[in-house]
Structure 1
């Protein structure tokens, strides 16, 4: 029985096609591939042909090897759950999905040049699902948004509605693709974000069952209000034989799941927000009511994991909320690692004096500026100024900071409430679980479904920022709410609505203070997902302040966070050697430079070195903002005790400039590195930043480290020029 192509479009460099089995022409599935690989497509085999299958009697020896993955996966309560040992592991391919049938498909060119492909599916019980695929031909990224509407006269309860499903992986092999598919994911933990996890399909135990009956699934995600707690909402599958990679990224601030699914030869990728299996979610739709799943971003490239991430990052740039002043990636100084939660008016004025004219733009006052009843570590909730530290309030401090040419910033964790505050007693306006205020450690949480909360925080947060003259805001969020909260709907749906309210308050901040630069922080990097990133100018990359793995974390995150939005710490201490300063400062060239520490106590040589680093950073911001990042590593498995070395290259679009950020860890092996440059051009080292004992030579377009020291690092800025006919091939630099 053939597979029918129901619709097919070439949009930009993508080939988007919809397929169905010949005996079920309204059961459509989606496939996306690079258009350039169209000729490499092969037809799937019709039947399983292993000896174990062939020796079975009729009809068992006639087992079809392929299936079309459904365009939309949903599960209505009361419908038949999936078989094949899948119940309890997945809600994909229940009878709800099997009964969805396409009844309309349309194509439309939008005003911005994007192509909209809208497909409507209907279910006998009155569920109507609309699948919208919007393809940007410039970035090569498709955005999927799925809605479910109740068109019946009674209520319908959804236990699952996936945000996307992409099938037919891999269409470049006719069999079960043994040994050729790799799965890429990004693990995450506090102060250890973004570590790439690459496994073969076989290592993940996803080889198809010998009969094709049993389901194979790898489901992962996170439950709660920290969307990057455990994993990033991202997955890619690479067909190394075909040199094609598919990738998917979800945009949601709360619970999510992704799933690799297999029953036949080819794989499907699916996922979305919470469902009944994860996050205690269900949604009862009244007649006429519609529910919208979170957006998902899909793409495919001819290339590897880095190439497909480049494409998703390009789409992230389009969605980013960058005020005009952010275009040059201004340098931040955050005093957290200077005072460790004890800022004062005098200390901040002294810091502003030290930083004046240095190249720093923002001076951020972190935690500790508000009153702490009982002298606790934190006191979130009331947001009254600590008059012992700021006797006249915050306005004289911000005026003094601005007088030194800096933009003052302020830290808030306004979603949380700590014991000892008056707000702690406002339980009516807090999130509850099982009938009591939800408490996680020493935190309770405001309920952002409640208009009173929005008005209260407008007075305590927005008015404070406006009246005291702040131009920068750091928003923190230091624990997870968990799977769900009390309310009118299921616990998971109540949590989703609360987090939608949180995002509405972010939008209100932008609307009422349009020039405000907002940093998205959540114990460092727990909110590094597209929907939160689109609401803010930048994000904290991690809470790794002075750890040796900062260069590794920063480089890992370049796959999933745009460099212009990724704020990296360099904490400077009075006793730091120039080698240590270079190691710390070089890492900030992998994103946004954020300084902290004892800059007011640095020696003159150390301060001069720091200022030189800032000057170089400001010269190469366009490279950092717009360049292509690639990491070359020879490191051990430990991040806390790294060995070997790392080199990250950033190349401009024209491939005429190259920024090299290198780090040597314990027992470094760095000696020669050949950057990816055009050998027909003459290259020279324009500027360098490194410790005084480093010796580097550029010879025949290869960099040679003549001396490598443990725990050293630096930056090299290379510029190419047309090579004359008789040009000398060598250019050398030695730093004594």
Structure 2
């Protein structure tokens, strides 16, 4: 077809779409297609018989009776997609959203079935492109999981430039109209050493009110571009209906560029998300005839309650996968020691042996040798990544002798790697055929380049230098760090964003290969602290570094934030201890670790007997409270900090075990804190143990825990039954 004819065809299709849709809301008929009880959730599908559009409603089963019919509200399609060549959406959309294009308009309902608890809905366009939407639920989970697949059943090559993992519309179904001034969007903001701050805004503040004619596509997309999926936001959102007392929460699971979107054109809000699209993430994907592509998994839930409750339901969805791959040494959540804040990148045989001998009697199970063990005698360790050869000067008897010394003290030795990188001082920095490229050049960030994790030669090299080194030298723990981002992506026949997606697939495949070859190894996930705290990484590792705020007063604030995104049993929190610290500071640090996994570092071999007594008391309480830390529900209160670097007021996290028989209250005071505070308790509780400096008292009265004697920057933990 020549260009004038092609232009006429596009114009004709556009005129037809405008005529069908008009400038306002298309009045749709809606009939129930099916309804499914999935745990305590009710999943209902609706179909418009005129357009064949199918949508999905999610509600707490106990509140299904309160759902009302919405006015001026289009049915949200099950799948949002955009194929190259199809007409872009109207409503001033380009650059703001790719939703509701001609691709979506052409989808027609084919059928629905249920297989082994999975609800499968199929849509198809006139050319034979199929969209298969699957919803399932893990046993015991308070959530559902959504997977969307595109199958090219046509005889032509098609190119995706946007595909949702999930869409959810008609929010809120508990109000017939706009639900003005009652809907809150909650998001988790993240930056280095300040992860997980809750950001809450009304839809009105976000500009998500429908226009008088319902013709403008009002949308906000928030996204992360690159290989650090938790760098600006967590891929988590919650919408709270404050009038109905119901909250919906959604989470994307993958580890590369992603986007979430809140869209409103009429009285109903729609949430959708998936891979960052062509506009946000430079992503396109070609499918030849007969090929298929599946978008990354998404997790959805709804509950009677607020964002705190809803997000913790998302966290619990990870538990079965996490527990299934935990090595035996992880079952009781032991204490970790990492020597980075002890030697600051200069570990050696003598120091390892000294530290291991001193720690043996204090209850640590893992001893991790961090960065610097491979340092070049001249160039140092910071830019010497990629060769992974132990420094003979630091370890004259070999790195195995250090691992053996740790095991001789009854601990499991661990070793740090940044295995996806090459540093400029390493020979591998020049192996261009094995490195990621963009614009025909290696992707270079500062002094780092990136291995191509889908290159068989790279995988073979890393199996020898990483897995082989671990096996040959008796290490039972690996800390995998990641301190740069690939950005918009890397060369791939389809797009830069697709190259990035495949790179992260290769990385996660290598993580699994480590586990396959060393079944009982403990894998720690770290990315400049907490930049990879997403389910696809969390579910294949034992634990994660919660942040890099290791010696900062904001540790308990960040650790509390992460109860909305990470199982506390996986959230490794450091207590960096030094002999010059006061006992008050020791208690502050140790109490912070009760919000997750306890990891010690610092000058532990130089602590006084009095300091060690405070540490040992903390470790003993940590072990006692471990079942509640592992399996419980957290409530947070006190003062919401405005500045993390200049904390004021106080906070508490009250975590109650799932059985309700025990609870742990972790409390921290900041600048200007009150001398006495109260924490509401659930149930009839009594104090079993108080962890605090001398001068602090605690008692239970009138259903609350009262703590008195506080000064600025105190840390307290109270175990109750």
TM-score (norm 2): 0.94
Please state if 1:338 is matched with 2:342: yes
Q: Could you say which residue in structure 2 is the equivalent of 1:323?
A: 327
Distance in 2, Cα, partners of 1:137 & 1:714: 36
In structure 2, the partner of 1:42 is 68
Q: Which residue of 2 aligns with 1:58?
A: none
Name the structure 1 match of 2:367. 363
1:15 is the counterpart of 2:42: yes
Contact 1:368 1:378 (C-alpha < 8 Å) held by counterparts? no
Is residue 524 of structure 2 the alignment partner of residue 519 of structure 1? yes
Counterpart residue number, 1:70: 77
Match of 1:91 in 2: 98
Q: Is the 8 A contact 2:374 2:381 kept in 1?
A: no
Q: Are 1:141 and 1:315, in contact at CA under 8 Å, matched by a contact in 2?
A: yes
Match of 1:29 in 2: 55
**Structural mapping, 1:160-559, within 5 Å:** 160-320=162-322, 321-372=325-376, 374-375=379-380, 377-559=382-564
Is the Cα contact below 8 Å between 2:38 and 2:144 reproduced in 1? no
Shift of 1:635: 4.0
Equivalents in 2 of 1:623, 1:157: separation in Å?
Answer: 49
The match for 2:150 among 138, 148, 151 is 148
Question: Shift in Å at residue 374 of structure 1?
Answer: 2.0
Kept in 1: contact 2:264–2:270 (CA 8 A): yes
Inter-partner Cα distance in structure 2 for 1:302 and 1:497: 38
Task: Report whether the alignment pairs 1:101 with 2:103.
Answer: no
CA distance in 2, matches of 1:419, 1:671: 54
Structure 1 residue 706 corresponds to structure 2 residue 701: no
State the secondary structure of the residue aligned to 2:586. Answer: helix
1:338-395 deviation per Cα after TM superposition (whole angstroms, max 9, x unaligned): 0110001110111101101211000000000003252353310101111111011111
Matched residue, 1:676: 681
Paired with 2:707 and 2:36, the residues of 1 have a C-alpha distance of 51
How big is each residue's C-alpha offset from its partner over 1:648-671, in whole Å with a ceiling of 9 and x where there is no partner? Answer: 111112322121111000000252
User: What CA distance in whole angstroms lies between the structure 1 residues aligned with 2:163 and 2:713?
Assistant: 49
Gapped regions of structure 2 (runs ≥ 5): 1-27
Of 365-374 and 640-649, deviating more is 365-374
1:13 Cα deviation from its structure 2 partner: 1.5
Counterpart mapping for 1:718-729 below 5 A: 718-719=720-721
CA contact (8 A) 1:13 1:137 kept: no
Aligned to 1:664: 669
Change (3 A) 1:636 1:307: closer
Residues matched between the structures, number: 691
Q: What RMSD over aligned residues (CA atoms) do the two structures have, in Å?
A: 1.2
Q: 1:533 to 1:137 in 2, by over 3 A?
A: closer
- SS class of match (2:352): helix
Selected match of 1:596 from 579, 592, 601: 601
Task: Pick one of 580, 587, 606 that aligns with 1:582.
Answer: 587
Query: What do the CA deviations read for 1:616-657 (whole angstroms, capped 9, x no partner)?
Result: 111111010011111112244111110000111111123221
1:39 Cα shift?
1.6
* Alpha-carbon contact 2:371-2:381 (below 8 Å) kept: no
- In 1, the alpha carbon distance for the partners of 2:91 and 2:576 equals 54
Alpha-carbon offset, residue 692 of structure 1? 1.4
Distance in 2, Cα, partners of 1:672 & 1:703: 8
Distance of 1:134 and 1:188 partners within structure 2: 30
| Distance in structure 2 (CA, Å) of the matches to 1:103 and 1:423 | 53
Alpha-carbon spacing, 1:572–1:242, altered in 2? closer, same or farther (3 Å): same
Instruction: Could you tell me which runs of 5 or more consecutive residues in structure 1 were left unpaired when the two chains were aligned.
Output: 46-64, 720-736
Q: TM-score, normalised by structure 1?
A: 0.92
Query: How many Å separate the matches in 2 of 1:35 and 1:137?
Result: 17
Contact 2:383 2:448 in 1 (8 A): no
